[in-house]
Structure 1
Amino acid sequence: MGNAWWNLTLRFLLELAALLGLGIAGWHLSEGWWRWALALALPIIAAVLWGTFAVLNDPSRSGRAPVPVPGTVRLALELVILFGGAAGFYVAGHMATGIVVALLIAISYACSLDRLGWLLKQ
């Protein structure tokens, strides 16, 4: 499964963007002390889920899986977190950023069809 260096870089940046988008959404969609709580909790929860639930021997990761899950579960988790971050930008009023991030996610996955096929077989 050879992902081009540019796509691996894009994927990493999209993961960071997703965390930022979730944090912005948490801030935007709440008030008072909840603002701080959600702005911090949403990205932390997403990062913990991302790092915990993985497919064993996934070559696009370290190969380790603290909690092994089927490929379809991992793919669903990735899509929810990544597109959730894009949606976070959108609902917080950064519509153009949300749309661009969503398009970049789609492009990244379109250029990772080998990985998608591998995930769906696991």
Structure 2
Amino acid sequence: MSLLAILKSINLMLRFLLELVSLFFMGYWGYKTGNGPVQWVLAIGAPLIMAVIWGAMGDPKAAIQLSAPLHLVLEIIVFGLPVLLFGEVGKTEIAWIFGCLLVVNRILMYIWKQ
């Protein structure tokens, strides 16, 4: 296996981890934002809604295939929203790191046609 193939595999694995972290960020935001029962509804509902939307339209094997520009818009919303929300709850350093990883990952996915 070549070094490039290994790097491409690592990039795809990073993408999957970024998807999971996005879901975590949405749940964390919901938990920190709400009070009482609303806290739990947001903590469970926000990542669930995002996962359903991403699974239905964003995933490469999704039932609804979007055009490239619409898919990019969906990616910006699905991955950008958790960055903004995590920054809102005071975790700005982590939000910056996550945002930078997202940008690098997306650039490499574009270059390597992943």
The normalised TM-score by structure 1 is 0.78
Contact 1:21–1:87 (Cα < 8 Å) also in 2: no
Picking from 24, 28, 38, the partner of 1:24 is 28
Map 1:53-64 onto structure 2 (within 5 A): 53-54=57-58, 61=60, 64=61
Q: Output the CA distance in 2 between the equivalents of 1:44 and 1:81.
A: 12
Query: Which letter maps to 1:86?
Result: V
Cα deviation for residue 93 of structure 1 reads 1.6
Contact 2:58–2:71 (Cα < 8 Å) also in 1: yes
- Report Cα offsets for 1:15-58 as digits up to 9, x if no partner: 01110111111112221211100110110000000110148xxx
Q: Output the CA distance in 2 between the equivalents of 1:83 and 1:54.
A: 14
The unaligned stretches of length 5 or more in structure 2 are none
What corresponds to 1:100 in structure 2?
97
The normalised TM-score by structure 2 is 0.83
Map 1:71-90 onto structure 2 (within 5 A): 71-90=68-87
Determine what percentage of the aligned residue pairs are the same residue.
Answer: 27
- RMSD (Å) for aligned C-alpha atoms: 2.1
What corresponds to 1:44 in structure 2?
48
The structure 1 segments of at least 4 consecutive aligned residues displaced by more than 3 Å after TM superposition are none
In proportion to residue count, which structure has more helix?
2
The unaligned stretches of length 5 or more in structure 1 are 56-60
Query: Which letter maps to 1:106?
Result: V
